[in-house]
């Protein structure tokens, strides 16, 4: 397979990059200063694209690569890939589900605890020597608080199971009620937000879910409510979130993702009731290597004429 051209869109994982380099003719897109000229020059060589949550394959790129056969995403999210156009053109698409579920769900619980107990602010308090001048202020508990989850897929369910261990009542919103679920269902996000103390965003990013967290939802969650986003940044209307936090209309937020990554609103930096992470939901060595193995496995399966391991299209 050494002659098969694979276009890697951006730096992702040294392990993935090395494994691709061993097996295929790897092109590193981010190293090309003249990207359009590069694509024209290599169009007949590139038969696969490897993308991730920040860089995928839009219609323009797909049209530029006449021999493109497969787009393998080093991510479970697919919002950077034009799925409809891939389907229309007969281009296969794969992603990396399941292997990252546990890590992302673990991080959601970590964000809840860090936000409610102000763990990061406590750490800064000790490091700055303030403890010698007095105790840290009281915070609020997690156990027993009601948790609402937007999106009850693999990750949403894993978050629910973990929150149950803390004695939390669980409710959820999805496009339609899941008949086999034991959790309380709400048919709209505003009702869900009105009836929970912690709201977790765990759904895919689509046209319908972009800014699913808007001013109305934030106000329904209220000044004692906490928002946790482990989905995608554009799920949240970021200016509305910032103003609600600054004005005290929302109790707190734990955010792993942002609308214009890696840019983060500076107004959030000084707020002790906000925890900010650099999109590390699946960011463990074990999980990222497993994701890389899935990318490699899907590419090899495709070019050997075998079924994809995790097909999307």
Cβ contacts of 227 within 8 Å, gap of 6 or more:
199, 201, 213, 218, 221, 236, 241, 250, 252, 253, 254, 255
Catalytic residue (one of 154, 210, 249, 279): 279
Please report the sign of the dihedral spanned by the C-alpha atoms of residue 176, residue 231, residue 76, residue 58: positive
Catalytic residue (one of 69, 102, 261, 300): 261
Q: Count of alpha carbons within 13 Å of 88, Cβ hemisphere only?
A: 8
Q: Is 28 a catalytic residue?
A: no
Q: Which two tokens stand for residue 119?
A: 């763990």
Whole-number Å distance between alpha carbons of 30 and 12: 11
Instruction: Looking at 141-237, list the stretches that DSSP marks H as alpha helix, in order from N- to C-terminal side.
Output: 154-164, 189-194, 215-221
From the number of C-beta atoms within 10 Å of its C-beta (0-12, 13-18, 19+), residue 193 rates as buried
Q: Is 216 a catalytic residue?
A: no
Q: Is 215 a catalytic residue?
A: no
Catalytic residue (one of 232, 235, 288, 302): 232
Q: Which two tokens stand for residue 147?
A: 């948790």
Whole-number Å distance between alpha carbons of 250 and 131: 28
The catalytic residues are 232, 261, 279
């Amino acid at each position: 397979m050494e002659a098969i051209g694979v276009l890697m869109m951006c730096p992702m994982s040294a392990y993935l990059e090395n494994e691709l380099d061993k097996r295929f003719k790897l092109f590193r897109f981010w190293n090309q200063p003249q990207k359009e000229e590069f694509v024209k020059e290599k169009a007949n060589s590139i038969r696969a694209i490897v993308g991730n949550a920040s860089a995928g394959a839009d219609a323009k790129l797909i049209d530029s690569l006449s021999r493109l056969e497969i787009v393998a995403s080093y991510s479970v999210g697919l919002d950077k890939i034009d799925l409809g156009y891939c389907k229309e053109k007969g281009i296969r698409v794969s992603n990396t589900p399941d292997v990252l579920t546990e890590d992302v769900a673990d991080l959601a619980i970590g964000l809840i605890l860090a936000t409610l107990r102000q763990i990061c602010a406590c750490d800064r308090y000790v490091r700055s020597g303030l403890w010698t001048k007095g105790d840290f202020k009281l915070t609020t508990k997690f156990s027993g608080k009601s948790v609402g989850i937007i999106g009850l897929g693999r990750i949403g369910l894993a978050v629910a199971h973990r929150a149950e261990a803390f004695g939390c009542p669980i409710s959820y919103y999805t496009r339609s009620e899941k008949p086999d679920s034991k959790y309380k269902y709400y048919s709209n996000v505003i009702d869900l937000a009105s009836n929970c103390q912690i709201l977790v965003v765990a759904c895919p990013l689509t046209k319908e879910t972009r800014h699913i967290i808007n001013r109305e939802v934030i106000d329904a969650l209220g000044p004692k409510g906490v928002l946790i986003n482990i989905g995608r940044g554009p799920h949240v209307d970021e200016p509305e979130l910032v103003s609600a936090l600054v004005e005290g209309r929302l109790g707190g937020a734990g955010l792993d993702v942002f609308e214009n990554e890696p840019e983060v609103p500076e107004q959030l930096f000084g707020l002790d009731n906000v925890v900010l992470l650099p999109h590390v939901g699946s960011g463990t060595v074990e999980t990222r290597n497993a994701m890389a193995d899935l990318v490699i496995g899907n590419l090899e399966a495709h070019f050997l004429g075998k079924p994809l391991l995790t097909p999307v299209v």
